[in-house]
Amino acid sequence: MIMAATLLIDLDHLLANPIYDPQRCSVGFHPLHGLLPILLYIALCFHRKTRLVGLGLVIHIGLDVIDCQVTNGIWFIPAS
Ligand SMILES: [Zn+2]
């Protein structure tokens, strides 16, 4: 279930061109990696039925943020 959630969130990478760019930060760039969706994922953690999905999504964002920091030296792309 957690894996399914984290795979679903990365479907928004398919909307980007190129689909995968190691120099690009996912967080703040892709529609499902924005501030509002992230707040929603955190909110999901507080409901018993959606906790695992929310947790998986928050972990996913966390990994994307760390990846961005390691490769680009910034935590996320600020909303324009
Ligand atoms: Zn991602």
CA of 13 to the centre of ligand 1 (A): 7
CB neighbour list of residue 19: distance below 8 Å, 6 or more residues apart: 13
How far, in Å, from the CA of 32 to the mean position of ligand 1?
8
Query: In whole angstroms, how large is the CA radius of gyration of the chain?
Result: 12
Query: Which of 75 and 23 is assigned the larger pLDDT?
Result: 75
* Nearest-angstrom CA–CA distance, 25 and 64: 7
**Cα 78 to averaged position of ligand 1 atoms, centre (Å):** 16
**Which residue would you say has higher pLDDT here, 5 or 59?**
59
Q: From ligand 1's centre to the CA of 43, what distance in Å?
A: 18
- pLDDT for 19 equals 64
Model pLDDT, residue 22: 67
First and final C-alpha spacing in the chain: 33
pTM here? 0.78
Q: Is the Cβ–Cβ distance between 28 and 77 less than 8 Å?
A: yes
Per-residue pLDDT of 19-66, as tens digits, reads 667 677 888 888 888 889 999 999 999 999 999 889 989 988 998 888
